[in-house]
Amino acid sequence: MKTFRITTPDEALRPVLQNKIDNLNKPKGSMGRLEELALQIGLIQHTLSPELRHPCHLLFGADHGIEREGVSISPREITWQQMINFSRGGGGVNLFCRQHGFELFLIDMGVDYDLHSYPGIIDCKVARGTRNFLHEAAMTEEETDQCIETGARMVTECHKRGCNVVSIGEMGIGNTSPSSIWMHLLTGTPLEMCVGAGAGLNNAGIRHKYEVLQSAIQRFRTHHPDLQDADVRSTRYATEVLRWFSGFEMTAAIGAMLRAAELGMVILVDGFIMTACMLMASRLYPAIRHYAVFCHEGDEAGHRRMLEALHARGLLQIGLRLGEGTGALCAYPLLQSAVRMLNEMNNFENAHITKYF
Task: Tell me the C-alpha distance between 180 and 177, whole Å.
Answer: 5
**Identity at 339, one-letter amino acid code:** V
For residue 104, the cross-strand partners are 57
Kindly list the distances between the CA atom of residue 163 and the CA atoms of 44, 54, 267, in Å, as whole numbers in the listed order: 14, 5, 11
Helix (H) or strand (E) holding 106: strand 103-110
- 63-91 burial string, b = 16+ CB within 10 Å, else e? bbbbbebebbeeebebbbebbbbbbeeeb
| Residue 324 annotated in active site | yes
CB-facing half-sphere around the CA of 172: CA atoms within 13 A: 36
Please work out, in degrees rounded to the nearest 5, the angle formed at the alpha carbon of residue 330 by the alpha carbons of 177 and 150. Answer: 55
Which runs of E-coded beta strand occur in 14-101? 56-62
Please tell me which residue in 249, 324, 344, 349 is annotated as part of the active site. Answer: 324
Order of strands across the sheet that contains 292-294: 121-123, 103-110, 56-62, 165-171, 266-269, 292-294
Helix (H) or strand (E) holding 171: strand 165-171
The residues annotated with a catalytic role in the active site are: 324
